[in-house]
Amino acid sequence: MFVHAHPDDETLITGGTIARCLREGAEVQVVTCTLGEEGEVIGDEYALLCSGEADQLGGYRILELTRALEALSAAAPGPTVRPTFLGGAGRFRDSGMADMPSSKNPRAFVNADIARVAATLSELICAFRPHVVVTYDPDGTYGHPDHIRVHAVTHAAIDHAAATEWDVPKLYWAVVGREFARTATEALRDIPAGWDDSPESGLGRYPDGAITTRIDVTCVLEEKRSAMRAHATQVSVSRDGQCYALSNSIVQPILAEEQFVLVRVSSQAAPAPPGGGGDETDLFAGL
């Protein structure tokens, strides 16, 4: 189970891992907590869908998420993954950044009661019974308030589920190593015109030495690229497929390795304890 804040988050930092798990026969559920209504639209074609205009972006992003999950499922032997929205599609609204008026909306995800939201996620956990749950680190990868709230909700839901029906064997944070991302960005060539080459401004914030798990997603990079392209209102992919940019036009590499930190192990699992050795190459190790 991958728990994310907005449509496109699942692809940007865990898309390759989702596709690889599916290719290898695992059952995967992707839980998205908001519709991403406050996203900044790239280009003019759908610009009027944004929250300051028609406020229809959330509905359109359901379509983008559906197409992205279809792309990630392309090589899977089982059924295509369908979106799962926490509490139902539209239950919680994208909060936007902390200094935006949208964060004051009573329906904004940051204003939802953590215990109640966690109980809702716990129900999904107990129904699906995942062996692995993936969410964000305490900083939410890059500090977005919804990501930080997803972190808190997921941890509370794990505890709630363990006390009721299902003790999740392994819990991970999806992260991007600072130096790993910087090196990959500096190696990029033929960056599209207008994109800002600023390695320090990308998603890579996590201390590389604290990463416990590295997943090679080379075999599913095409699926990951296709899923990124499906999120066209939010993500631009370079013609050569080596990099992408969000609405801020900051170039970021499409990484062939996705990184995680193992933060919780139940009695059902017997992997090596987390400690920054980078030894794991499989989220299911020890299960």
pLDDT tens-digit series, residues 221-243: 999 999 999 999 999 999 999 99
- Say if residues 247 and 40 touch (Cβ distance below 8 Å): yes
C-alpha to C-alpha distances, 195 to 182, 189, 224, 243, 253, nearest whole angstrom: 16, 12, 21, 10, 12
User: Residue 147 annotated as binding?
Assistant: yes
Q: What is this structure's pTM?
A: 0.95
pLDDT tens-digit series, residues 74-109: 999 999 999 999 999 999 999 999 889 999 999 999
Measured between alpha carbons, how far is 80 from 74 in angstroms, rounded to an integer? 8
Tell how strand 2-4 and strand 30-32 pair up. Answer: parallel
User: Residue 160 annotated as binding?
Assistant: no
Give which of 33, 28, 50 is closest to 41, Cα–Cα: 50
pLDDT tens-digit series, residues 260-273: 999 999 877 665 54
Domains present along the chain, CATH in parentheses? 2-177+206-215+256-265 (3.40.50.10320)
User: Residue 6 annotated as binding?
Assistant: yes
> Would you say the C-alpha torsion 139, 109, 70, 77 has a positive or negative sign?
positive
